[in-house]
Amino acid sequence: MSWTDERVELLKKMWGEGQSASQIAKELGGVTRNAVIGKVHRLGLSNRAGPGAAPAKPEPKPEPKPKAAAKPAEAEAAPAPEPKPASTPARKQIIPAGQPLPPQPSANEISPEALAKVSEVEKKAKKLSLMELTERTCKWPVGDPATDDFWFCGLPVKAGKPYCEAHVGVAFQPLSARRDRRR
């Protein structure tokens, strides 16, 4: 089945009349509901206002608040933001495919104390291969995996983490510390 000019025009007409994608697919024949929806989006017809379309709900206007007599000091103060309920979970930001990722923390954003501790620890590291790792050994990779001198730390792990204490300090930084370094 191909989208001929006649079929596209019929699709546009029926879509504008408020017909559903299933109804249009049945009328056209040889095409699925999903194919109709895809063509509608490619043609830019997805926003429609026809007899079958749901009526747009008017935005409720905020009611004006009665003005109370305020003291001059209170009039200049900005209103305090409303506290968010503690049960509201933070939403993860979803990045569409093909969009650049947000900046990731780099080595210069890691605290100097943590980096110094890591360099000292890596001098004492056991330098294990992948096959030598266990649940009790630090799995922090060091070097380029494409070279022969690539290894894992191998020191004892911190309880509940995959890394030793020094590498946990680099990998799991408190949110406030990361936020402060960006400023």
Task: Taking residues 151-164, report their average pLDDT.
Answer: 92
pLDDT higher for 76 or 43?
Answer: 43
Residue 171 has pLDDT above 70, yes or no: yes
Report the predicted TM-score, pTM, of the whole model to 2 decimal places: 0.37
pLDDT higher for 54 or 65?
Answer: 65
Task: Taking residues 151-165, report their average pLDDT.
Answer: 91
Q: How far apart are CA 66 and CA 94, in angstroms?
A: 41
pLDDT higher for 130 or 86?
Answer: 130
Q: Given this model, what pLDDT does residue 143 score?
A: 87
- Considering only 17-26, 43-52, 78-87, 109-118, which range has the smallest mean pLDDT? 78-87
Residue 153 has pLDDT above 50, yes or no: yes
Local structure of residue 128 (DSSP, 8 states): B
**pLDDT, the chain, mean:** 75
28: CB partners within 8 A, 6+ apart: 7, 10, 11, 36
Residue 32 has pLDDT above 90, yes or no: yes
Q: Given this model, what pLDDT does residue 141 score?
A: 92
Residues 157 and 137: beta-carbon distance below 8 Å? yes
Under the banding of pLDDT at 50, 70 and 90, the label for residue 53 is: very low
Handedness of CA 23, 26, 27, 32 (dihedral sign): positive
Residue 34 has pLDDT above 60, yes or no: yes
Residues 44 and 73: beta-carbon distance below 8 Å? no
